């Protein structure tokens, strides 16, 4: 609750299975600095595994979504008690799993919010794609590609959704992210499976597994303005299998007028990899573009200034990519 309040509220949840403070640098420092009240939940799950609430597969992930709704209600009331009036605007935003929360909230409880910014949110669909489809392919074929150079194995990874230019990141993600991410989601969605990670085949699993995913699935039927941004070199939740597919769902739902999609050339799922010397000449941080998109959402919702059409934001050859988002994509149509 900032001392000088702008009359507005932002609600969020963290990426992965992290705690409620995980977004402090990425989101809340920026948002509080703009005068917003700010509320974050740990989704009821933090640690190396999902907290299992209930007895059915998917219960823990379903809990994420209703906890976010509860937080929005509670935070609005807390702001009213603290400042003497309810927020004039409420936005929802998040990165990765937090981006998924943003999508789900604007589909299922849009009346709680005025809009949202989804930074590389995960997509869950019962028949795929979802993290259990593309991560399993990467875990299966990357060791073969690394040891033999098999082009068939490489092509299988690319067809699963991974950008071919992200190949320089595959080894790092194989060692650090792919296995643990597949494991924690698989334990929640398909707890009876016992096959090794590289042999897991989501599409061949029984109907009960798809039903668990259906409980947390996305439809694209958003009810408030949403801006999505995603790094083209995202090597954990690849853009093709997540945000590209989500754009298709939004279009099928007839909601494209409420959506803008900006792909960030050189962007990866975790900005800090820009600090790795051997990656720096290929990557760029997404954070400054996220902040620019948040301010564009404000103008869209509050001033009626429509954002530019969905587009790719090119990686500049030089300049300050840590603090700015060149080239400037955020030229309002009405400006």
In a domain? residue 272: no
Radius of gyration of the chain (CA): 20
Supply the pLDDT for residue 139: 98
State the average pLDDT over residues 315-323: 83
Residue with tokens 């998924």: 100
Residues, the chain, total?
335
The angle that helices 207-214 and 179-189 make with each other, rounded to 10 degrees, is 100
In a domain? residue 167: yes
Q: Name the token pair of 82.
A: 């603290």
Tell which residue, 140, 118, 161, 134, has the closest CA to residue 250.
Answer: 118
In a domain? residue 65: no
Question: Cα dihedral sign for 247, 66, 109, 308?
Answer: negative
Supply the pLDDT for residue 16: 72
Supply the pLDDT for residue 59: 86
Supply the pLDDT for residue 333: 46
DSSP for 249-302, please give it: HHHHTT-GGGEEEEEETT--SSGGGGGSTTTTTT---SHHHHHHHHHHHHHHHH
State the average pLDDT over residues 150-176: 98
Supply the pLDDT for residue 316: 81
Residue environment code for 263-281, b if the CB has 16+ CB neighbours within 10 A, otherwise e? bbebbbbbbebbeeeebee
Please state, rounded to an integer, the average pLDDT across all residues of the chain.
93
Q: Give the domain extent around 176.
A: 131-213
User: N- to C-terminal Cα distance for the chain?
Assistant: 33
Q: How confident is the model at residue 23 (pLDDT cuts 50, 70, 90)?
A: confident
Torsion of CA 287, 230, 330, 102, to 10 degrees: -80
| Contact call for residues 118 and 99 (beta carbons, < 8 A) | yes
In a domain? residue 182: yes
Q: How confident is the model at residue 44 (pLDDT cuts 50, 70, 90)?
A: confident
In a domain? residue 322: no
Contacts 24+ apart (CB under 8 A), 318-323: 321/274, 321/284, 321/285, 321/288, 322/274, 322/285, 322/288, 323/288
Question: pTM value?
Answer: 0.94
Q: Name the token pair of 54.
A: 């209930």
DSSP state of 26: I
Question: Cα dihedral sign for 14, 18, 19, 21?
Answer: negative
The number of folded domains in the chain is 1
DSSP for 84-122, please give it: SS--SEEEEEEETHHHHHHHHHHHH-GGG-SEEEEES--
Supply the pLDDT for residue 51: 66
State the average pLDDT over residues 306-313: 93
More reliable by pLDDT, 7 or 334: 7
DSSP for 188-254, please give it: HH-TT--S-GGG--GGGS-HHHHHHHHTT---S---S-EEEEEETT-SSS-GGGTHHHHHHHHHHTT
In a domain? residue 201: yes
**CA neighbours within 13 Å on the CB side: how many for 179?**
12
pLDDT in tens, 207-252: 999 999 999 999 999 999 999 999 999 999 999 999 999 999 999 9
């Amino acid at each position: 609750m900032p001392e000088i309040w702008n009359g507005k509220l932002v609600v969020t949840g963290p990426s992965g299975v992290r705690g409620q403070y995980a977004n402090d640098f990425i989101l809340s420092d920026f948002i509080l600095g703009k005068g917003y009240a700010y509320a974050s939940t740990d989704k009821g799950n933090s640690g190396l595994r999902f907290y299992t609430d209930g007895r059915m597969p998917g219960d823990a992930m379903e809990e994420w979504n209703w906890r976010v709704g509860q937080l929005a209600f509670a935070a609005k009331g807390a702001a009213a008690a603290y400042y003497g009036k309810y927020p004039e605007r409420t936005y929802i935003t998040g990165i990765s799993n937090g981006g998924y929360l943003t999508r789900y909230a604007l589909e299922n409880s849009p009346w709680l919010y005025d809009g949202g910014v989804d930074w590389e949110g995960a997509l869950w669909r019962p028949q795929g794609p979802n993290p259990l489809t593309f991560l399993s392919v990467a875990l299966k074929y990357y060791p073969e590609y690394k040891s033999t150079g098999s082009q068939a194995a490489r092509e299988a990874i690319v067809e699963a959704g991974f950008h071919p230019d992200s190949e320089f990141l595959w080894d790092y993600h194989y060692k650090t992210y792919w296995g643990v991410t597949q494991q924690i989601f698989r334990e929640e969605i398909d707890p009876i499976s016992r096959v090794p990670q590289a042999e897991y085949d989501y599409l061949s699993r029984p109907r009960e597994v798809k039903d668990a995913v259906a409980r947390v699935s996305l439809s694209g039927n958003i009810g408030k303005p949403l801006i999505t941004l995603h790094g083209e070199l995202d090597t954990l939740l690849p853009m093709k299998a997540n945000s590209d597919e989500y754009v298709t769902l939004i279009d099928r739902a007839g909601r494209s007028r409420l959506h803008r999609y900006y792909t960030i050339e050189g962007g990866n799922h975790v900005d800090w990899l820009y600090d790795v010397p051997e990656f720096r000449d290929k990557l760029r941080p997404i954070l400054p573009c996220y902040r620019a998109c948040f301010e564009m959402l404000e103008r869209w919702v509050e001033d009626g200034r429509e954002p530019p059409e969905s587009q790719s934001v090119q990686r500049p050859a030089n300049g300050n990519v840590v603090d700015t988002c060149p080239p400037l994509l955020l030229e309002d149509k009405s400006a």
